[in-house]
Structure 1
Amino acid sequence: MDESAAPGATGSHEPGARGIARFARPVLIAASVVAVVCIALLVIIFLLDTFNATVYSVGGNDIHDNTQESRDIRGLYDGARAGSIFFLVAALLAAAAAGWMLYRGRKPGGDTDGEDVHFEDLGQ
């Protein structure tokens, strides 16, 4: 079996793939997915809060009253909202750090190794 068939089998590393920087792309992808899920969760919570307030006010009550029932309805999704905001901020910070690492580790002049690539070359 030829050991050189697998990339990196000889122990040599690419200049941009050293240390923690090799995890930047997966972290960027995962953080983007988590951020999208958190934003979707916040939208769903907003819609549920609006629906609950509308249903509560149908009977002539006001959601901003100082009653125990209205306080319970207002605080129904506080934990989910706080957790979603926390994970959204953490995901945005992780995505920013990963993006910075990818930007810092890029090769100047692109990945063409000095070759001129033209539009005609892409069709082959």
Structure 2
Amino acid sequence: MESSETPTPGQPDSGQPEGNNPAPVQHSRLVRYARPALITGAVVAVVCLVLLVIIFLLDSFNATVYSVGGKNISDATEEARQIRDLYLGARIGGIVVLIVSVLAAAAAAVVLVRDQRKTGDSDGGEDLGFDDLAGS
């Protein structure tokens, strides 16, 4: 049995092209990918922060072990330079990926907030009480 309602071209599920207004289609595509981008960006940022903390601890440990023999990690010797540069690539890569992931998460958050304000849905859904959640 078919519905007697005639969908209008502006409705998202009407199956008809949007016509002269491509902006809502682009916006809905952004919103569709914003939540996964936000989650991915946040997770990658946390992993990068943990990686950078581990690298900092390893650098500190190497500098401490090197200086136990009375040497200074800031010396201009080849051995001191190698110890200072040991984790340089991982440190730079971690910082770059951290910045990119934070920017991606921030952009996704902006898209989600703009969509939420546009739709007027301030809390993201209907209000449920404890009895509704408990299944009573």
> Is TM-score (shorter-chain normalized) higher than 0.5?
yes
1:19 aligns with 2:29: yes
- Distance in 2 (CA, whole Å) between partners of 1:34 and 1:51 is 26
Task: Number of aligned residue pairs: give it.
Answer: 109
Offset of 1:120 from its aligned partner? 6.1
Give the match for residue 8 of structure 1: none
Unaligned runs of 5+ residues in structure 2 are 1-11, 15-23
Structure 2 residue 43 is the aligned partner of structure 1 residue 42: no
- Root mean square deviation of aligned Cα: 2.3
C-alpha contact (below 8 Å) 2:30/2:111 kept by paired residues: no
1:1-124 map, 5 Å: 12=13, 18-106=28-116, 107-109=119-121, 110=123, 111-112=125-126, 117=127, 119=129, 122=132, 123=134, 124=136
Higher relative contact order (CA 8 A, sep 6+): 1
Q: Give ranges in structure 1 of 5+ residues lacking alignment.
A: 1-10
TM normalised by structure 2 equals 0.71
The TM-score with structure 1 as length reference comes to 0.78
State the alpha-carbon separation in 1 of the partners of residues 28 and 36 from structure 2. 15
- 1:59-105 C-alpha deviation (Å, 9 max, x unpaired): 11110111111011001111100000000000000000000111011
